Amino acid sequence: MAYFSRNLRLPFDEVVRRVTENLQEQGFGVITSIDVQETFKQKLNIGFRNYKILGACNPSVAYKAIAHFYQKPRHKLSIGI
C-alpha cells in the first residue's frame, strides 16, 4: 500500500477531482472512496477535517500480478485416510 500526502492551496473537492482524473490518465480507476470525515461523523459523532481514502487499481497490471502469482507451482498437502 502506498501513501501520498501534500499540502495544497486548492479546494478539497477540486483536489480529489484532479487526483481522480490524473489516475485515470495513467490507466487507474478509483474502485473505492472512503469519506473518513463523514464516517467519523456518522459512526462516532466526531467532527474531523476533510479526509478521503481513494483505492486505485490498474486492471491490466492487477491481472498480470495475480495471474503471475497463481501460475507459480504451489505445494499441496494431501492426506489420505
Distance CA 42, CA 46 (A): 8
Distance CA 64, CA 24 (A): 19
Contacts of 33 (CB under 8 A, 6+ apart): 52, 53, 54, 55
Question: First vs last Cα of the chain: how many Å apart?
Answer: 43
Which pLDDT tens digits describe the chain residue by residue (81 residues)?
667 778 889 999 999 999 999 999 999 999 999 999 999 999 999 999 999 999 999 999 999 988 887 786 666 666 655
CA 61 to chain centre: 14
